[in-house]
């Protein structure tokens, strides 16, 4: 099966399972209310830019801290992450952008907008970390667990997923840039 098709099916599940789960509770499906329950709602530009920037800076600071700690204890296997990202680029630059935009949006909808409210911040962050096992990196799993906690707490505080989605996209974009500049 095509790699793109597999990823599309994963993202389809990550987005539509929460929508169907929420919709089944109501007799009348109101798409706007479902999106609002998932945290996808309009926000003012000032709030959006302030919160997105704040979250992005926190994600970068936490990531650097985790990386330094993992180097100190000898668990830095980030070369596996670099190889995985590089393999995506070799398949298709479009696939890389798909993963950067669509996958990140789907992850935020599922893990923060839906799962964090259903099973809590720690368990949703653990599930988020587990889906990153394909990188073959302990550092990736540990890092995504803690970054998942930050993203979930931020969402629970703001009740708006838009800063999360954009901060997550920018964070991954900067990580990709780092991989290609290294």
Q: What is the pLDDT of residues 108-131, one digit of tens each?
A: 999 999 999 999 999 999 999 999
Tokens of 142: 């540990």
Predicted confidence (pLDDT) at residue 1 exceeds the cutoff of 60:
no
Q: Which residue has the higher pLDDT, 145 or 82?
A: 145
Please state the rounded mean pLDDT for residues 24-38.
84
Instruction: Burial-class residue 44 by CB neighbours within 10 Å (0-12, 13-18, 19+).
Output: exposed
Residue 27, pLDDT score: 67
pLDDT bucket at 175, cuts 50 / 70 / 90: confident
The per-residue pLDDT for 84 is: 74
pLDDT tens digits for range 57-90: 999 999 999 999 999 998 878 777 777 776 766 7
pLDDT over threshold 90, residue 29: no
Integer Cα distance of 111 and 114 in angstroms: 6
Average pLDDT over residues 13-26: 90
- Residue 47 vs residue 7, higher pLDDT: 47
Regarding predicted confidence, which is higher, 67 or 93? Answer: 67
Q: Which residue has the higher pLDDT, 67 or 167?
A: 167
The reported pTM is 0.91
Q: If DSSP codes are grouped into helix, strand and coil, which group holds residue 98?
A: helix
Q: Check residue 3 and give its pLDDT.
A: 76
* pLDDT at 83 (0 to 100): 73
Pick from 106, 75, 103, 125: nearest CA to 176: 103
Please state the φ and ψ torsions of residue 92, each to the nearest 5 degrees. Answer: -175, 135
SS3 content of the chain, % helix, strand, coil (to 5): 80, 0, 20
Is 90 exceeded by the pLDDT of residue 172?
yes
């Amino acid at each position: 099966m095509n790699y793109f098709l597999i990823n599309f099916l994963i993202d389809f599940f990550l987005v539509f399972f929460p929508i169907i789960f929420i919709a089944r509770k109501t007799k009348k499906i109101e798409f706007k209310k479902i999106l609002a329950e998932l945290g996808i709602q309009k926000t003012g530009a000032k709030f959006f830019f302030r919160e997105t920037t704040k979250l992005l800076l926190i994600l970068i600071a936490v990531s650097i801290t985790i990386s330094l700690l993992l180097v100190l204890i000898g668990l830095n296997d980030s070369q596996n992450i670099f190889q995985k990202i590089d393999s995506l680029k070799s398949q298709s630059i479009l696939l890389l952008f798909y993963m950067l935009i669509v996958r990140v949006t789907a992850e935020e909808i599922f893990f923060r907008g839906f799962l964090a409210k259903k099973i809590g911040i720690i368990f949703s962050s653990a599930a988020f970390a587990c889906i990153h096992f394909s990188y073959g990196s302990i550092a990736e799993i540990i890092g995504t667990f803690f970054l998942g906690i930050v993203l979930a707490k931020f969402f629970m505080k703001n009740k708006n997923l838009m800063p999360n989605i954009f901060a997550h996209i920018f964070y991954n974009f900067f990580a990709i840039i780092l991989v290609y500049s290294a």
